[in-house]
Amino acid sequence: MKKTLSQSIKFLIFFSISAFLFWIIYRGQDTSEIFEVLKNEVNYLWILVSLLFGLLSHVSRTIRWNMLIESLGRKPRFTNTFLAVMVGYFANLALPRMGEISRCGVISKYEDVSFSKLIGTVVLERALDIVMLLLLLLLTMFTQFEVLSNFMTRNPQVSSKLSAVFASSITMYVMLALALLVFIFRKKFKHTTFYKKILFTLGNFMDGFKAIRKLDNKLPFILHTVFIWVMYYLMTYICFFSFGFTSNLPALAGLTVFVMGSFGMVAPVQGGIGAWHFMVIGTLLIYLPNTPDIEKLSRSFALVVHGSQTAMIIIVGALSVIALPFVNRSKSLNQNS
């Protein structure tokens, strides 16, 4: 009961933040004008192509995760892993970062793999994703420094928040305090059941995190990592051809919009709602400052691109939740018999 209440409160908080950001961005905008753009100025064929790239990225992520799990000595079915990945994306729309827990729970349940080891593999995946995002950020800074500089100048609240995150010493102080407490009471703490459970869980977690060392062939793993992010980039850039005002923007502009939008997705809100729109719209305004009705057009672009990707996650994610028990029905029947 308490857990359900806690999750409900978290959902309401994050949803309120998302709704507020979304309202801030689209307030004062005549909805009929946006609907007019959506009806007459969007080539939805390119949107469908972008969703295909999205599905390919999810398939590649499934294969990559299976490689990590197999290095732990287990061989989950591709179908279960793919459905778990999609359930994870679906869960992230309810609570940020809930997806990582959800997909590990699915595989742990249906493939009988240690949950803590699975968490280790997911943390490893996230670490690799951060590395890829930072590499793309460096590439963007090198090739589009003036655009990024203009974005920060026009949106000082973003740069100040980023600076506060990196400059804050609160996290360091908390970690030092915890380390000091553990050191002081280490002898008593070592004999507790809680401590032994922590050691066991951490051991499994590290086994999962170190899974990459046990990979027989690391090259396919690296190639899948690169492929996933290329597909992510194409999901955004291909949508440029859906709108007349963005169709002539260069590929590097697409990279900048993608990277800035990715940082919006990292924000602690469901599916990057509001934060992603803000980053993408702000970037387009810098690239196309003299375009007539640019604010209306850029808002329409963000609405269509993010809306289509979110709709795909909702549809495929919901179908995955429904499909899992049926896909594993034979296994459940064998266990009950």
Entry pTM? 0.77
Burial of 108 (0-12, 13-18, 19+ CB in 10 A): middle
Better pLDDT: 75 or 1? 75
Better pLDDT: 215 or 312? 312
If you average pLDDT over residues 103-132, what whole number do you get? 88
Confidence label for 47 from pLDDT (cuts 50, 70 and 90): very high
Is the sign of the CA dihedral 175, 180, 183, 188 positive or negative?
negative
Q: Strands, DSSP E only, in 148-281?
A: none
Task: Write the pLDDT tens digit of every residue in 218-271.
Answer: 889 999 999 999 999 999 999 999 999 999 999 999 999 999 999 888 766 667
- CA–CA separation, 30 and 317 (whole Å): 32
Angle at 152 between CA 148 and CA 156, to 5 degrees: 175
Task: Write the pLDDT tens digit of every residue in 80-115.
Answer: 999 999 999 988 887 777 888 899 999 999 998 988
Is residue 230 within 8 A of residue 144, CB to CB? The reply is: no
Q: Strands, DSSP E only, in 150-240?
A: none
Q: Using a CB cutoff of 8 Å and minimum separation of 24, what contacts does 95-104 make?
A: 95/7, 95/10, 95/11, 95/14, 95/270, 96/14, 96/268, 96/269, 96/270, 97/268, 100/126
**Length reported for the chain:** 337
* C-alpha pair distances (Å), 106 with each of 114, 248, 320, 321: 11, 44, 11, 10
- CA–CA separation, 33 and 301 (whole Å): 13
